[in-house]
Amino acid sequence: MNEIARLVKTLKHRLKIQGMTYRDLALALNVSEPSVKRMFALGRFSIDRVIEIAHLLGFTLAELTHEAAASEGRLHTLSDAQERNWCLMPSFCSSRFVC
């Protein structure tokens, strides 16, 4: 999932937690409900709009982006078992690598 998709997913999640509908958000942003739906469907927000939505939800942009980044568990290292399994795969473990 790319960064924009994670941010949109986080915004949707926060809206749901706070019980805020797209209609509520549209009223607060002074835009139409279809405009809000389009923004979320296309994932196209200006940075000013993201900040405005974040503030409506009680977050700073930094807090919102941090939550979005944390929502995707990244794998930085392999466990011992994963490493052993990796090395058992002949197509991935050649003479160039020491397993």
Q: Could you report the per-residue pLDDT of 15-24, keeping only the tens digit for each?
A: 999 999 999 9
pTM: 0.68
- The structural domain count of the chain equals 1
Owning domain of residue 21:
1-99
Report which of 64, 18, 8 is spatially closest to residue 41, judged by C-alpha positions: 8
Residues contacting residue 40 through CB under 8 Å, at least 6 positions apart: 8, 11, 12, 22
What CATH number should be reported for the domain holding residue 13?
Answer: 1.10.260.40
Q: Could you report the per-residue pLDDT of 49-77, keeping only the tens digit for each?
A: 999 999 999 999 999 989 888 876 655 56
